[in-house]
């Protein structure tokens, strides 16, 4: 992505006004991808009461299950933090856990959450594990993960900047992500600025149906007419 593809803070805030389900509905209307792609499966939001998370992905892969050959611990590459900081803001670290099964250890706990926040990250997404949830919650860093673990085990990052897959969702460096209690969805750059207006229109249409179903005027025949109008 070049700088021209990044949204303004006003445009990012417009996306934060909608839940991830409505954003996914809006993305579908542009017919840029299959409707069963572009979002996570079996990835849990650790802090479901937090507002929607909107930011740009920094991607890499993770392993936790095997110890290093030559020493007792792995040392992540010294340029990792600088590379994260060079990405577009707000930032979201996205790691594909390559262990089988994933989640043998948790890379992000309270210490790494503090580091990520200092680097301008607002969230972390992984098919692996996270830990130390109460401390991380107080920092305001959102977590999406496949599981919760006790230990970091031998957690180490490699293949930074790779195209990865997390919970069935393909993620490339710089992808725009939207996440909340329902999961995480990618928003194609070419339509990102237009999504809030479409989401607002869809929300109005859905509310019309909901209000009609709750009214004394409800009938199946009339419901069919309304559904045809909103397509």
Q: What is the pLDDT of residue 211?
A: 96
Q: What is the pLDDT of residue 71?
A: 52
Arithmetic mean of pLDDT over the chain = 93
Q: What is the pLDDT of residue 70?
A: 52
Residue 89 and residue 37 share a domain = yes
Residue 207 and residue 151 share a domain = no
Residue 108 and residue 72 share a domain = yes
Lowest-confidence pick of 6-10, 13-17, 62-66, 165-169: 62-66
Residue 210 and residue 129 share a domain = no
Residue 202 and residue 130 share a domain = no
Residue 212 and residue 132 share a domain = no
Whether 128 and 107 have beta carbons less than 8 Å apart is answered as: yes
Residue 65 banded pLDDT, cuts 50, 70, 90: confident
195-231: pLDDT as tens digits: 999 999 999 999 999 999 999 999 999 999 999 888 6
Residue 204 and residue 185 share a domain = no
pLDDT of 78 over the 70 cut: no
The number of beta carbons lying within 10 Å of the beta carbon of residue 24 is 22
Domain that holds residue 220: 198-230
Residue 68 and residue 35 share a domain = yes
Residue 47 and residue 140 share a domain = yes
Domain count, the chain: 2
pTM across the whole model = 0.93
Q: Angle at CA 105, nearest 5°, toward 92 and 62?
A: 50
- Residue 90, both tokens: 């707000």
Residue 209 and residue 99 share a domain = no
Grouping H, G, I as helix, E, B as strand and the rest as coil, residue 201 is helix
Whether 164 and 60 have beta carbons less than 8 Å apart is answered as: yes
CATH of the domain at 73: 3.50.30.40
């Amino acid at each position: 992505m070049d700088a021209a593809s990044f949204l303004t803070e006003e445009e990012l805030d417009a996306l934060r006004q909608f839940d991830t389900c409505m954003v996914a509905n809006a993305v579908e209307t542009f017919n840029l991808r299959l409707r069963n792609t572009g979002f996570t499966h079996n990835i849990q939001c650790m802090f479901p009461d937090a507002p929607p998370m909107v930011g740009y992905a920094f991607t890499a892969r993770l392993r936790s299950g095997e110890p290093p050959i030559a020493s007792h611990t792995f040392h992540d590459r010294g340029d990792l933090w600088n590379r994260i900081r060079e990405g577009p803001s707000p930032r979201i670290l996205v790691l594909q856990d390559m262990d089988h099964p994933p989640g043998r250890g948790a890379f992000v706990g309270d210490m790494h959450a503090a580091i990520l926040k200092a680097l301008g990250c607002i969230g972390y997404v992984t098919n692996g594990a996270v830990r130390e949830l109460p401390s991380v919650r107080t920092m305001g860093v959102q977590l999406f993960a496949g599981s919760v673990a006790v230990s970091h085990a031998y957690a180490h990052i490699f293949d930074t900047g790779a195209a990865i897959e997390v919970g069935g969702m393909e993620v490339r460096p710089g992808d725009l992500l939207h996440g909340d209690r329902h999961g995480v969805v990618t928003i194609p750059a070419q339509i990102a600025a237009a999504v809030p207006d479409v989401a607002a229109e869809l929300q109005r249409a859905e509310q019309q149906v909901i209000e009609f179903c709750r009214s004394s005027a409800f009938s199946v025949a009339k419901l069919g007419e309304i559904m045809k109008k909103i397509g």
